[in-house]
Amino acid sequence: MEAVLKWLSDSQQIIYIVILMIFVGIEVIGRVPSVLHTPLMSGANAIHGVVIIGAIIVMGKAESDNYVALILGFLAVILGTLNVVGGFVVTDRMLEMFKSKKK
């Protein structure tokens, strides 16, 4: 428990920045018109390929006994992959709306 409290006190500025980023992100996303939401989100989801590559690098460079880095890297790969696939599915559905219907 002491190690967790020490890490929290050492990382206090980073924690404040992350909390501020969450609130700013919610405000920015909340103000996007619904017409632009799908194209912007599908493009942003595709950017998660960078997250996947970064997570793979972190997992590759992590020590074998550093379970926190390995677990976080694994979760980042899984969630980033889900986000990329979801972004492409949404983009595909969006593009289907513009195709002419066959009779």
pTM attached to this predicted model = 0.56
Is the model's pLDDT at 10 over the cut of 90?
A: no
Are the beta carbons of 85 and 49 closer than 8 angstroms?
no
Phi/psi at 33 (5° precision): -65, 150
CA distances to 22, 47, 83, 94 from 52, in Å: 21, 9, 10, 24
Domain boundaries of the chain, sorted by first residue: 1-31, 33-103
Q: What is the pLDDT of residues 30-67, one digit of tens each?
A: 887 777 766 777 667 767 788 888 888 888 888 889 88
Are the beta carbons of 16 and 24 closer than 8 angstroms?
no
